[in-house]
Amino acid sequence: MSLPRRPRRCGRARGENLSPLELGLLFAVFFVTSVIGVVTGANSLITIPVMFQFGIDPRVATATNMLALTFMSVGGALPFVGKGVFDTKRLPWFVGLTLLSSAVGAWLVTLVPAEAMSFLIAFFMLGVAIFVMLNRRAGVTPKEHVSRRAAGTGYLATFLLGVYGGFFSGGYVTMLTTGFVALFGMTFMQAVATTKIVNIFSSLVATAVYAWAGLIDWPLGLALSAIMFVGATLGGRLALRLNNEVVRQVFLVVVVALAAKTLVFDLEWAVLARLLGLA
């Protein structure tokens, strides 16, 4: 099942082709998702499909959204500065791996069909939700010791997720947050704060590649960037008032909702069945 799509406008649809009502709705969606997305991530699972519905070219939508995500990550990180919640010991490694992998991801021509990608995203998001539900203390209290195997797996996951984040980003921060909790023993607050810094570099590198390719709608992108910066700053301040258990619950509820939304509204089941040879 999939949402009905509007007929595509002739040529590459950009911000100046949108009506005032469409722009207003788009701005509202980006603001709300940026406030909530500081904790949960997965903004692109909502923002990019909405841009598609308004007839914006898919590549332009992805590139313009990536620009806005860069500013959202900066705004979301600022409230955590000086609060002692960043994993400063591992952060340089996270950033270095992300700079390389995001550049690869932005250029990567994916071999996975778009229809199957929606299924994979939903699958991973449900996996994240199951992990959080089965590990009630994960992300609530930090681990005192992390094995070398877990740390090595965590760095590998950071690199691989960076490749994915470079070319789409939908669910990237959500999965990265869960990886930091599961493999590095961070609390949810530590993981949320640290992923904001990592995502600055992931989005920035991908944005640079998209800018070089001429895919960004700059007027629309800068407007959305300002909105997401303000929303994320507000979201970060709100998150600091919550304890790790509450952050865990918010994270879980939103992840389950986004996984269900992806399965019900975004996945074209008939197309996927043909791809798998079932129809």
Residue-level pLDDT at 18: 80
Element of type H or E holding 85: none
pLDDT score of 102 more than 90 = no
Which of 22, 19, 38, 31 shows the shortest CA–CA distance to 231? Answer: 31
Question: CA distances (Å), 106 to each of 40, 102, 110, 160, 162, in order?
Answer: 23, 6, 10, 13, 10
Q: Taking 90 as the threshold, does the pLDDT of residue 94 lie above it?
A: yes
Checking if the pLDDT of 89 tops 70, the result is yes
What separation in angstroms does the CA of 39 have from each of 32, 62, 191? 12, 21, 9
Helix axis angle, 188-212 relative to 244-261, nearest 10°? 50
Which pLDDT belongs to residue 68? 95
Q: Is 164 helix (H, G, I), strand (E, B) or coil?
A: helix
The answer to whether 116 touches 272, Cβ cutoff 8 Å, is yes
Q: What is the pLDDT of residues 151-203, one digit of tens each?
A: 899 899 899 888 877 766 667 888 888 889 888 888 888 888 899 999 999 88
Count of CB atoms situated within 10 Å of the CB of 81: 12
Q: Where are the beta strands (DSSP E) in 93-205?
A: none
Distance CA 255, CA 273 (A): 25
CB atoms within 10 A of CB 115: 18
d(C-alpha 130, C-alpha 178), whole Å: 11
Q: How many CB atoms lie within 10 A of CB 192?
A: 31
- What is the mean predicted confidence (pLDDT) over 104-122? 57
Distance CA 174, CA 96 (A): 20
Rounded to an integer, what distance in angstroms lies between the CA atom of residue 211 and that of residue 189?
32
CA distance 207 to 38: 19
Residue 2 has pLDDT above 60, yes or no: no
Residue range 233-239: average pLDDT?
90
Type of residue at 180: F
What are the boundaries of each domain within the chain?
A: 16-275
* Better-scored residue on pLDDT, 96 or 105: 96
Contact 164, 172 (CB under 8 A): yes
For 17, half-sphere exposure in the C-beta direction (CA atoms, 13 angstrom radius) is: 13
How does the average pLDDT of the chain come out, rounded?
77
Of 128, 130, 178, 135, which Cα lies nearest the Cα of 153? 178
